[in-house]
Amino acid sequence: MESKYSILLSLLMLQCLSLLCVSQSQDFDFFYFVQQWPGSYCDTKQSCCYPNTGKPSADFGIRGLWPNYKDGSYPSNCDPNNSFNQAKISNLINDMQKNWPSLACPSSNNIQFWRHEWEKHGTCSESALNQHGYFDTALNLKGKTNLLKALKRINPDGNSYNLQTSKLQ
């Protein structure tokens, strides 16, 4: 059981290393593009609820696109005057429901989760991305990142993976 969680933690850390770099003129140094596995989220939380749109597919989903500084800190809630506006991303909603679901309880239509992501993280990326650009960029990164395929290359038979006996050392 412990190895299951250490593998999941390692995968999460690996995903956190997937970065989108931006130019030096930004108010931050880089983005973390973070994805989550629905099953591991639900296994580690006291409660897990699927969105009103139904159970997410057995694939990694977007957790967030987070501006960060090189020293490990990050900005948050940078512009209280730029609230989430669903109308600005109306053409992205279908893709977001599929690729950026909220698993927090109570279940929802994801709007509250996306509002949180925009207001906490997205407003800090305004020097690079407006609200539509923020969500669109995350969706584009998700489309270019196939973690399941990458993991199958590491362990094609689907059995437990043991770092000590791997040929990758």
Q: Which H or E run includes 21?
A: strand 19-21
* 64 DSSP β-pair partners: 34
* Tokens matching residue 96: 């977001």
**pTM listed for this prediction:** 0.76
Q: Residue 100 — φ and ψ, nearest 5°?
A: -135, 55
Q: Which residues have C-beta within 8 Å of that of residue 62, sequence separation ≥ 6? A: 33, 34, 35, 36, 99, 100, 138, 139, 142
What are the tens digits of pLDDT across the range 100-153?
988 887 767 789 999 999 999 999 999 999 999 999 999 999 999 888 888 777
